[in-house]
Every structure is written in structure tokens, then in C-alpha cells.
């Protein structure tokens, strides 16, 4: 994957990243006006790929975890990754912003193209990648700082231009949190509810103007009302962002996503548990008329 000779025809990765950065900077000028009621799933033909995942395998200390994964993630779409525990959803998600680079012993094979350029190309700066491709985790992880400083942290570190108060307000509005916290910005984020903390983490992610948001079970620790707020938020955000979400909640995947990848986990000949994608399609098709009997068994709750 780090071989620069591999695709001499492709555009240089750093150019694609700079273009993506320019695009994401334009988000600052765009406010979202889409209500969930107006959410319509894009049809397959609309999708312009933001990620092209091709034959991706990931190993931990030489032991394979996922093998030969391949599908495209569409721009301005929500893509759901579903499947039983241990099938490699988080592992694959981490390939999309090079977070696996930070795990000792993890190696990635195959190709991930981002806006057409090799995400693992030799000129690509993983720090820049993680700025453009933000991540929200299962457990809200605010810093032990004020609400304001949580949001301002990234823009300060990156030396982002503009009025910091405005940057913070804009991010909190995008995180659907402003009205709830505007009078307590100086309070410690640990005093917020779990649902508010998770929206704070989404707002913190957006403060640095990413292009893509990766979410790994962002609602699993939340009640249905907070979950609903985050789902509404995702539907608003997809106007301007591309989102990949891992979820164990089938209703959630069916409600919010345009496309769904279904993973299974099987034992290989060496008794390793290997995750694979057995079906990738429009969400509606995956949930109403799946092609693979394993998908059907899973989405109807017969296994998993
Ligand atoms: N840091 C790591 N070191 C070693 N093995 C790992 C690491 N992270 C994941 N694995 C292994 O890779 C496989 C896939 O794990 P992963 O966490 O990606 O699955 P998952 O689908 O996200 O599961 P869950 O739904 O439980 O979160 C598992 O066998 C897991 O033990
Ligand atoms: Mg996981």
C-alpha cells in the first residue's frame, strides 16, 4: 500500500488531500437546512465515491482480522457498517483515517483511495488525514475542560484563522447543542449528560472542519431521545459531510443510512476468526430484500 509505483496513473495523494481540505473549508460558509422529514435516500447512481476500498486486509501482529474488503463510500451519504461482534467493523473504520497506524502491530494491505488518491501514499501526512477525516467514538470522550475549551482545542492547536468565539458557536450549533449550553460554556464538560457529551464530541470533531466523519457506535451508550437527536443531526450533516457509521442497532442503520455493508466473521483454515463483507448495497435493499441468506438472518434477528 505504500508502494508509490503501484498506480502511476492516479493523482498525487497530497493534491487530492489539499483539494479535500479546500472543500471542507467551504463548509464554514454553508449552514444546513435539511430536516429529517426531507431526508431522501440518494439512489445508487447518484453516488460519487469519496472512499474506494479495494481488497483491504488488516492484520494484528500478523494474525488476519479482516480479509479482502471492498466497497465504495459515496460522497454526502451515510454508509452503515453492520455485523456481529468481532467481525472487524471498527478495524475497517480505522483504515479510513489511518488510525490503525497508531496500533502497534497493525498492518493494512490493499488499497484505500480517498477522493481518488491513495490514502496510504508516501506523500500523505496521517495528521492531515485525521484532520480531514474525523472520528467519534462509542464512549463520549470530552476533555476535562470547559465546554468552550473542548471545542476551541482543535482550532487553537491548528492555529485556525477566525474569531474563536464564532468558531465555537458555529460548531456547537452544528452539533445541535448551542441552545442547551450557550449559558454555561465555562462549565466543565464532565457535568453534561452522556447524550450532550456525545454531541459535544461531534461538535468538537466538526470545529476543525473535516470532510468526513467516522462514527463507531456513537449512540450505544445513549437513551432513545439522545439517540434520536444524534440521528437527526447525522441527517442534517450529510448535506455537507460524508458519514460512515458502525452500529449494532439495526433500526438505526435502516433509519439513517443510504448504503449498508454487512460483515460476517468465519473461521479460516488456520482457525483464525476472519471478518469479511458479504453484502454491500442500498440500505433499503439490504433490509428488505438482501441477496445473501446470512444478511437476511442477521437483519431479521435470527442470528447475531
Ligand atoms: N488492537 C487490537 N489488537 C489485536 N487484535 C485486535 C485489536 N483490535 C481488534 N482486534 C481483533 O480484530 C478482530 C476484529 O475486531 P473489531 O474490534 O474490529 O470488531 P468489531 O466488528 O468492531 O466488533 P464489536 O462489534 O465488538 O465492536 C477481533 O478478532 C479483535 O480481537
Ligand atoms: Mg467495534
Q: Supply the pTM of this predicted model.
A: 0.88
Q: For residue 257, report the phi and psi dihedrals to the nearest 5 degrees.
A: -90, 155
How many angstroms does the Cα of residue 90 sit away from the middle of ligand 2? 4
Contact between 23 and 76 under an 8 Å Cβ cutoff? The reply is no
Distances (CA, A) of 74 to 18, 101, 196, 226: 19, 24, 29, 26
Q: What is the mean pLDDT of residues 118-126?
A: 94
4 within some domain:
no
Place of cell 467481525: 87
Beta strands in 47-168 (DSSP E): 49-60, 63-74, 78-82, 106-114, 117-118, 133-136
264 within some domain:
yes
Number of domain units in the chain: 1
Instruction: Express each pLDDT in 72-89 by its tens digit.
Output: 999 999 999 999 999 999
98 within some domain:
yes
8 within some domain:
no
The C-alpha cell at 31 is 449552514
Cβ of 86 closer than 6 Å to ligand 1, yes or no, is: yes
Q: What confidence score (pLDDT) does residue 302 get?
A: 77
Q: What is the mean pLDDT of residues 92-111?
A: 96
Residue 229 has pLDDT above 60, yes or no: yes
1 within some domain:
no
Distances (CA, A) of 84 to 19, 60, 89, 276: 36, 19, 9, 11
User: How far is residue 133's CA from residue 149's CA, in Å, rounded to a whole number?
Assistant: 21
115 within some domain:
yes
Give the residue numbers spanning the domain of 134.
13-299
Cβ of 60 closer than 6 Å to ligand 1, yes or no, is: yes
Cβ of 102 closer than 6 Å to ligand 1, yes or no, is: no
Confidence of residue 16 (pLDDT cuts 50, 70, 90): low
Confidence of residue 44 (pLDDT cuts 50, 70, 90): low
Instruction: Express each pLDDT in 24-42 by its tens digit.
Output: 555 544 433 333 344 455 5
- Please report, rounded to a whole number, the percentage of residues in the chain having pLDDT higher than 70: 86
Looking at ligand 1, which residue's alpha carbon is closest to its atom 12? 65
Q: What confidence score (pLDDT) does residue 269 get?
A: 84
Helix (H) and strand (E) counts in the chain: 11, 10
Place of cell 448504503: 259
104 within some domain:
yes
Cα Rg for the chain, rounded, in angstroms?
19
Neighbours of ion ligand 2 (CB under 5 A): 90
Q: What confidence score (pLDDT) does residue 268 get?
A: 84
How many angstroms does the Cα of residue 65 sit away from the middle of ligand 1? 7
Cβ of 88 closer than 6 Å to ligand 1, yes or no, is: yes
Q: What confidence score (pLDDT) does residue 196 get?
A: 94
**7-10-15 Cα angle (round to 5):** 130
Q: Which ligand sits nearest to residue 64's alpha carbon?
A: 1
Q: Which of 32-36, 59-63, 107-111 is predicted with the least confidence, judged by mean pLDDT?
A: 32-36
Burial 125-155 (b: 16+ CB within 10 A, else e): eeeebbbbbbbbebebebeeebbbbbbbebb
Residue 118 has pLDDT above 60, yes or no: yes
3 within some domain:
no
Q: For residue 82, report the phi and psi dihedrals to the nearest 5 degrees.
A: -125, 160
Q: What confidence score (pLDDT) does residue 13 get?
A: 57
Domain of residue 69, CATH code: 3.40.50.300
Q: What confidence score (pLDDT) does residue 17 get?
A: 72
Residue 7 has pLDDT above 50, yes or no: no
Instruction: Express each pLDDT in 241-294 by its tens digit.
Output: 999 999 999 999 999 999 999 999 998 888 889 999 999 999 999 999 999 999
DSSP characters for 115-127? TTEETT-TT--HH
Contact between 108 and 58 under an 8 Å Cβ cutoff? The reply is yes
Beta strands in the chain (DSSP E): 49-60, 63-74, 78-82, 106-114, 117-118, 133-136, 212-216, 242-246, 259-267, 273-282
Amino acid at each position: 500500500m505504500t508502494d508509490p509505483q503501484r498506480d502511476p496513473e492516479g493523482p498525487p495523494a497530497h493534491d487530492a488531500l489539499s483539494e479535500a481540505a479546500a472543500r471542507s473549508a467551504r463548509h464554514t460558509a454553508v449552514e444546513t437546512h435539511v430536516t429529517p422529514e426531507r431526508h431522501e435516500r440518494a439512489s445508487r447512481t447518484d453516488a460519487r465515491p469519496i472512499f474506494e476500498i479495494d481488497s483491504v486486509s488488516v492484520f494484528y501482529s500478523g494474525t488476519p482480522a479482516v480479509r479482502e474488503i471492498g466497497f465504495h463510500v459515496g460522497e454526502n451519504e451515510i454508509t452503515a457498517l453492520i455485523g456481529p461482534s468481532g467481525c472487524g467493523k471498527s478495524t475497517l473504520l480505522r483504515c479510513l483515517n489511518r488510525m490503525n497506524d497508531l496500533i502497534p502491530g497493525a498492518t493494512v494491505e490493499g488499497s484505500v483511495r480517498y477522493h481518488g488518491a491513495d490514502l496510504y501514499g508516501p506523500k500523505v501526512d496521517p495528521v492531515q488525514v485525521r484532520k480531514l477525516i474525523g472520528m467519534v467514538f462509542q464512549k463520549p470522550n470530552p476533555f476535562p475542560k470547559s465546554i468552550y475549551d473542548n471545542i476551541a482545542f482543535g482550532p487553537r492547536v491548528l492555529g485556525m484563522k477566525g474569531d474563536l468565539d464564532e468558531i465555537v458557536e458555529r460548531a456547537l450549533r452544528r452539533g445541535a447543542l448551542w441552545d442547551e449550553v450557550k449559558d454555561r460554556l465555562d462549565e466543565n464538560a464532565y457535568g453534561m449528560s452522556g447524550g450532550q457529551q456525545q454531541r459535544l464530541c461531534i461538535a468538537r470533531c466538526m470545529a476543525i472542519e473535516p470532510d468526513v466523519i467516522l462514527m463507531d457506535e456513537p449512540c450505544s451508550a445513549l437513551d432513545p431521545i439522545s439517540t434520536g437527536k444524534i440521528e437527526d443531526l447525522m441527517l442534517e450533516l450529510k448535506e455537507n459531510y460524508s458519514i460512515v457509521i458502525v452500529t449494532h442497532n439495526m433500526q438505526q442503520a435502516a433509519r439513517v443510512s443510504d448504503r449498508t455493508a454487512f460483515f460476517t466473521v468465519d473461521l479460516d483454515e488456520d482457525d483464525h476468526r476472519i471478518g469479511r463483507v458479504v453484502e454491500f448495497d442500498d440500505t433499503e435493499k439490504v433490509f428488505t430484500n438482501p441477496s445473501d441468506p446470512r444478511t437476511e438472518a442477521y437483519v431479521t434477528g435470527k442470528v447475531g
